[in-house]
């Protein structure tokens, strides 16, 4: 592919920067309102050019179809403490009018064969560029901390073995995914207790920083 990647990716970088600020803003608003926040932290990235070329090759996507068919050139991840927080975040996204949701993929109810769990939301996001408005696609992945831990590790193992993970490691990863799921379930059972403790902790920290 003989493309001017830097120019192509400028609006995607802008979208990632804007969306990170917006979603981190939600977190701050929750904190100021003394309600427990469904968002633990937010990350974002523009897909590296090498990954774009690989994915386009694997999926047989030509240059002219790249921006329409690769939905994750701009990617945002929203991490939550509890599985139920994911639903809260999805509802917050559905209420917004600064982008349109095009597709939702629920890999939590329907986990992938690898063991991967996450909720994906594909949005159409308007970015202001020199020529005017450009609507771009972005993928938001919403997951718990445990799901993120698993996915990050599995991603690097997958990268090491270039997609050909040995069977014994694959099985261990599947078992680890189940363990992560049990951790999420256990934490959800004592959610009220954990959130009370976190509020007490925050209030005490606020008081001590005031003096
Ligand atoms: P990266 O490096 O994170 O950008 P496909 O790529 O065909 O499987 P599709 O239709 O493009 O899938 O979208 P999908 O499956 O909704 O989302 C793909 C992205 O989800 C991946 O992007 C990963 O970020 C994440 N993902 C999906 N399945 C797995 C998995 O089994 N393990 C891990 N760790 N992550 C997964 P990329 O481009 O593959 O990678």
User: 44 with 14: CB under 8 angstroms?
Assistant: no
The string of pLDDT tens digits covering residues 183-199 is 999 999 998 888 888 87
Ligand 1 pocket, 105 CB below 6 A? yes
The string of pLDDT tens digits covering residues 129-175 is 999 999 999 999 999 999 999 999 999 999 999 999 999 999 999 99
ipTM for this prediction: 0.93
**How far does residue 189's CA lie from ligand 1's centre (Å)?**
29
What pLDDT band is residue 210 in, cutting at 50, 70 and 90? Answer: low
Ligand 1 pocket, 120 CB below 6 A? yes
* Pocket-testing residue among 58, 154, 155, 156, ligand 1, by greatest number of atoms within 8 A of Cβ: 155
The angle at the Cα of 87, spanning 78 to 12, to the nearest 5 degrees, equals: 35
pTM given for the model: 0.93
The string of pLDDT tens digits covering residues 20-66 is 999 999 999 998 887 889 999 999 999 999 999 999 999 999 999 99
Q: Does domain 5-204 have CATH number 3.50.50.60?
A: no
């Amino acid at each position: 592919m003989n493309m001017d990647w830097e120019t192509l990716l400028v609006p995607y970088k802008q979208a990632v920067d804007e969306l990170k600020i917006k979603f981190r803003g939600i977190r701050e608003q929750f904190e100021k309102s003394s309600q427990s926040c469904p968002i633990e932290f937010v990350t974002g990235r523009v897909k590296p050019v090498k990954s774009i070329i690989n994915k386009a090759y694997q999926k047989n996507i030509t240059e002219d179809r790249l921006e329409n068919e690769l939905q994750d050139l701009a990617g945002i991840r929203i991490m939550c403490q509890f599985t139920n927080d994911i639903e809260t975040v999805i509802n917050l996204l559905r209420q917004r009018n600064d982008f349109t949701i095009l597709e939702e993929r629920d890999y939590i109810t329907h986990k992938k064969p690898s063991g991967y769990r996450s909720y994906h939301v594909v949005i159409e996001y308007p970015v202001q560029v020199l020529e005017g408005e450009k609507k771009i696609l972005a993928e938001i992945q919403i997951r718990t901390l445990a799901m993120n831990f698993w996915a990050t590790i599995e991603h690097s193992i997958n990268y090491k073995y270039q997609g050909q993970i040995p069977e014994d490691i694959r099985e261990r990863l599947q078992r680890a995914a189940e363990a992560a799921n049990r951790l999420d379930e256990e934490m959800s059972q004592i959610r009220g207790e954990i959130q009370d403790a976190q509020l007490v902790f925050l209030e005490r920290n606020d008081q001590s920083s005031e003096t």
